[in-house]
Structure 1
Amino acid sequence: MPIYLLNKAPFEGVKNLILNEIVFFDIKLNLDRYDALVCTSKNALIALQKNKIPLNLDMEVYTIGENTACFAQKLGFKNIKIAKKSYASDFFQEFKEELENKKCLYLRAKIIASSLNLDLRNNGVDLDEVIVYENVFKSSGEILIHPSIFIFTSALSVENFLKNYSLHEDDIAISIGNSTAKKLLNFKNLFVCEKQSIEACVALAKKLESRLV
């Protein structure tokens, strides 16, 4: 059974189905004005790099996801904190008190699935938001094989897929987390990955595939 990953990350035995592209915006920032940087995606940090923003490597960086934290470390940031769970709601609960007395900058996508920005503000966090990138839909002419296993890595990946294709009754869908799964609640063959990483999703897909051989 073929495995399709709606992400560009390469894995052996997995087909990449790319239905979006990241568009980065031109921005100007002075990171020295802030105590903490909130990043829920690696793309936020790539935006800093693309715009050649001078980095304040001593500022605290609060991240969701190991990939984001690793990229922050690669850029040279020294004080990186990674949320124990990869959900915005859990990030808020874990760090809300810690961020209360800091001047914070949230680098984000144009459209976000969570209410993290509102939750932080409502909790008294001094938060500035800057939209640094956008996910733009890109159609595909690829003819899919059914049944297959489809790995969805964001709520937007589900939306983009359904603009171009449909899931068949005998397909299997794997969601990277609960927010993504909400877009697939009407589909019966849905698995939500216990660990919110693409690697874990691919491992689950291969495990399910081996059972069906």
Structure 2
Amino acid sequence: MPIYLLNKAPFEGVKNLILNEIIFFNIDINLSLYDALICTSKNALIALQENKIPLNLDIEIYTIGESTACFAKKLGFKNIKIAKKSYGSEFFKEFKEELKNKKCLYLRAKIIASTLNSDLKNNGIDLDEVIVYENIFKPSNEKLIHPSIFIFTSALSVENFFKNYSLHEDDIAISIGKSTAKKLSNFKNLFVCEKQSIENCVTLAKELSLKTNF
């Protein structure tokens, strides 16, 4: 079965279906004023690059996801912590005590799926939020093949897909995590990846594509 990935990450044998565009906002931030930087997407770090913000490479960075952590390391940041699970609620549980005595900055998207920001503030954490980018819908005229396997890497990717297309009964949907899966809860052929990474989603998709009696 053909595999469509709703993300621009390239993989052999996988077709990228891009239905979004990232818009970065103009920002002016002094990172030296903060003890900790919270980034749930590498787009937050790209926003710093886009705005030529001087990087405080000694600041503690708290991330969700290996890709964000790897990008932070590539930029030269030294103190990087990765949440054990790729969910805002789990990030909060893991780091809420550790962040209590720190001045924190959360670089985020305009629209976020989790309540991480309010959870941290309600727990008494000194948190500033700066909206640094927006993920907007980008329509496509591409004709899709059915049945196929569709990999959804965020809740927003599901929303964007249904603005442009629909899933057929014999398609297969793969979700990168539980919050994304909630957007697909009415679809019967749904698989939730055990490890929240695009690489693992693609591996699962290729395994499923080889099964002829699904």
TM-score between both structures, scaled by the size of structure 2: 0.99
* Paired amino acid for 1:9: A
The number of aligned residues is 213
Runs of 4+ in 1 over 4 A off after TM superposition: none
Alignment of 1:73-112 (within 5 A): 73-112=73-112
Tell me what 1:7 maps to.
7
* Paired amino acid for 1:175: S
* Paired amino acid for 1:53: I
Q: 1:23-69: CA deviations, max 9, x gaps? A: 00010000000000000000000000110000111110000000000
Q: 1:81-138: CA deviations, max 9, x gaps? A: 0001111111000000000000000000000000000000000000000000000100
* Paired amino acid for 1:142: E
CA distance in 1 between counterparts of 2:91 and 2:80 reads: 14
Alignment of 1:64-143 (within 5 A): 64-143=64-143
Tell me what 1:33 maps to.
33
CA distance in 2 between counterparts of 1:145 and 1:19 reads: 16
Q: Structure 1: which 5+ residue stretches go unaligned? A: none
Alignment of 1:39-54 (within 5 A): 39-54=39-54
Q: How far did 1:212 drift?
A: 2.2
Q: How far did 1:211 drift?
A: 1.3
Tell me what 1:205 maps to.
205
Q: 1:164-183: CA deviations, max 9, x gaps? A: 00000000000000000000
CA distance in 1 between counterparts of 2:69 and 2:212 reads: 36
Identity of aligned residues (%): 84
CA distance in 2 between counterparts of 1:53 and 1:70 reads: 19
* Paired amino acid for 2:70: C
Give secondary structure in 1 for the equivalent of 2:107.
strand
TM-score between both structures, scaled by the size of structure 1: 0.99
Q: Structure 2: which 5+ residue stretches go unaligned? A: none
CA-based RMSD: 0.7
Tell me what 1:184 maps to.
184
* Paired amino acid for 1:23: I
* Paired amino acid for 2:43: N
